[in-house]
Amino acid sequence: MQTVEVAIKPVVKITLKPDTEVLDEVVVTGYGNFKKSSFTGAASSITTEKLQDVPSLSVQDKLAGSVAGVQITSTSGQPGAVESVRIRGMGSINAGNDPLYVIDGVPVMTGDASEFTYSQSGNSLLSTINSNDIESMTVIKDAAAASLYGSRAANGVIVITTKKGASGKLKLNVRADWGFSNKAIDYRPILNGEDRRDILYMGLKNYALNSGKDETYAVNYADNNIDKYAAKPWSGYTDWEDVLFRNGSHQNYEVNAQGGNERTKFYTSFGYTKQEGITLQSGYERITGRANMSHKA
């Protein structure tokens, strides 16, 4: 507020000028935007700056470790697979516990994309969203969210706001990243063909010894019968761990542009993502495109 002294006149013309100030963090809810200082509910927000620091291609993974009380569990190792999200634990032992997602004010269905297509991959519907197109995410944890969406918000609400145009000069961003993945832990040794042959050989030998035969007879018995149960392959033994597993990799490319003036603003983006899992026949490929424009008449 500014105080201005003026001379006494019969007519005083007063014109208000706009003043831009830095406000508190804005909390985006399902029923409006609030300053964090005036919002009485339980909510946590993640801005673009924090989202860019998370090296993940998944929308849900952007929340991992960023919001208190949110637990994210991967149901499989398939890239793009459905992930379990719990806000403040489980609310029911027999009903669904997934939160409601609201994208730009519109509630969306989540879950397995194969329920709506002929795909058998089990990919999440949220995996179709380019995570780099997200401006902010707000997690509403209390019962206040249910006032608008009813029982659908019983497990909490995750409000996703996507990027929009901004006034000013044209901004063009190009981003590319690559990475690789491997098994987080080494599993117990895998039994190969040669190990199996040795185990069966010892079994045949012990069978003869338990029947009262001597050591020489037991060895000859095992030598003469082992090929019936585990013959040596002519091409050699197969390393099944090498056949089933590999080093996973991902590549992600994105181009976006935004700009406009005080009346017309636009934002457009194009992205390509390809991710290969650590097991054969597991992978995920996505091409996204998005454009929006706003105009004040």
Residue pair 137/44 in contact (Cβ under 8 Å)? The answer is no
Residue pair 25/45 in contact (Cβ under 8 Å)? The answer is yes
pLDDT per residue over 213-244, tens digit each? 899 999 999 999 999 888 888 888 888 888 88
Tokens of 32: 């409006």
pLDDT per residue over 61-73, tens digit each? 777 767 777 777 7
Cα–Cα distance, 282 to 212 (Å, whole number): 53
pLDDT per residue over 275-292, tens digit each? 888 888 888 888 999 898
Residue pair 128/70 in contact (Cβ under 8 Å)? The answer is no
pLDDT band at 122 (very low <50, low <70, confident <90, very high): low
pLDDT per residue over 70-105, tens digit each? 777 776 777 777 677 777 766 666 666 778 888 888
Residue pair 133/162 in contact (Cβ under 8 Å)? The answer is yes
Residue 6: predicted pLDDT: 78
Tokens of 192: 């190969």
- Of the listed ranges 73-87, 117-131, 150-164, 270-284, the least confidently predicted one is 117-131
Tokens of 254: 């994105």
pTM of the model: 0.63
Which are the contacts of 98, defined by CB distance < 8 A and separation ≥ 6? 84, 85, 110, 111, 155
Averaged pLDDT of the chain: 78
Give me the DSSP letters along 236-259.
Answer: ----HHHHHB--EEEEEEEEEEEE
Superfamily for the 16-162 domain: TonB-dependent receptor, plug domain (2.170.130.10)
Cα–Cα distance, 88 to 155 (Å, whole number): 8
Sign of CA dihedral 16, 20, 24, 25: positive
Residue 23: predicted pLDDT: 47
